[in-house]
Amino acid sequence: MEMKEILFYAIAAFTLFSAGIVAFAKKIIYSAFALLFTFLGFAGLYVYLGADFLAVTQIIIYVGGILVLILFGVLMTQKIYDTKAIIAHNSLWFSVGGGLFVALIITALLVKNVWLAGVPKAFAPTTEAIGKAILSHYLIPFEIVSFLLLGALIGAVYLARAEDKEK
């Protein structure tokens, strides 16, 4: 077993464990931080898959952007003065059932399918390739996504604005 392999399994386990904590933690702040580690773990896995640009993008956007937003959300919606125990979760079995349904489907897919062997590729930097692809094959999605972001920006600002006039 090479070092790489051991490290791979460690990162995988770490990611999965963090995801588990996100799922099962009773306090929401624990879930948020666990989510942070999950994102980091994913980034590591991306590296193993030769997606160098994506790994970095993951960290910058997910951790730096999305997670911060989520933390904001968590912290701003907490009742600090509320001391009584809030039941944080729905029925466990209910949820396990739902999860199992999904697991069942995916397992069936994974098992029943014959996955293609694939082309062995060398590790090459991907940034240039992604840039080329976005501006040639994926131009329209790129443009649309930019519109989407604009809309999301405006929408988010609008939705979250302070209501000073009404007060």
Partner 1 sequence: MNTLMPYLIIGATVFTLGIFTIIYKKNAVGILMGVELVLNSVNINFIAFAKFVDKGINGQVVAIFVIILAAAETAIALAIILNIYRTKATVDVTELNEMKH
Partner 2 sequence: MITLALYIWLVPLLAFGIQIFLGKRLPRKGDWVSVGAIGISFVLSLIMFVRMLLNYDPNFSVHTSIPWIDAGNFKIAMGIYLDNLAITMAMAVSTVSFVVHIYSIGYMEGDPRYSRFFAYLSLFSFSMLGLIFFDNLFGIFMMWELVGLCSYLLIGFYFEKKSASDAGKKAFITNRVGDWGFLIGLLIVFTTLGTFTLTDIQTLVAQGKLSGGLLTAAGILLFAGAVGKSAQFPLHVWLPDAMEGPTPVSALIHAATMVAAGVYLMARISFMLSFDAMLVVAYVGGFTSLFAATIAITQNDIKRVLAYSTISQLGYMIMAIGVGAYQAGFFHLVTHAMFKAGLFLGSGSVIHAMHHAMHKTGVEEDPNDIRLMGGFRHKMPITYYTFLIFSLALSGIPFFSGFLSKDAILGGTLAFAMAQSNPVHYLLPIFGFTAAIITAFYMFRLIIKTFFGEPKRPDLYEHIHESPKVMTGPLITLATLSIWIFFTLPSISPFGSENSWYYHLIKKPASSVSAQLGHPVLEIPEHIEHAAHVNGMIISVIFALTGILLAYMFYYWKKWDVEAFTNKIRPLYDLSYHKYYIDEIYNATLVRGLLLWNNILAWFDLHIIDGIVNGAAFITRHVSRLSGIFDLSFIDGLVNAVADLTRDTGQLLRKVQTGQIQFYIFGALAGLVLIIIGTLM
Binding to partner 1 in span 101-160, by CB under 8 A? 102-103, 106-107, 110, 115-116, 118-119, 121, 126, 129-130, 133-134, 137-138, 141, 145, 148-149, 152-153, 155-156, 159-160
Judged by CB under 8 A, the residue of 95, 107, 127, 146 near partner 2 is 95
Site for partner 1 in 52-71 (CB under 8 A): 53-54, 57-58, 61-62, 65-66, 69-70
Minimum CB separation from partner 1 for residue 133, in Å?
5
**Separation between Cα atoms, residue 129 and residue 34, nearest integer Å:** 33
Residue 86 is a binding residue for partner 2 (CB under 8 A): no
Closest by Cα among 23, 15, 6 to 42: 15
From residue 112, give the alpha-carbon distance in Å to each of 101, 102, 108, 117, 118: 16, 15, 6, 15, 18
**102 lies in the binding site for partner 2 (CB under 8 A):** yes
Secondary structure of residue 14 in the 3-state scheme: helix
**Distance in angstroms (rounded) separating the CA atoms of residues 75 and 28:** 9
Q: Which run of H or E residues covers position 96?
A: helix 92-112
Identify which of residues 107 and 127 has a Cβ nearer to partner 2 in the complex: 107
Binding site for partner 2 (CB under 8 A): 90, 94-95, 97-98, 101-102, 104-105, 108
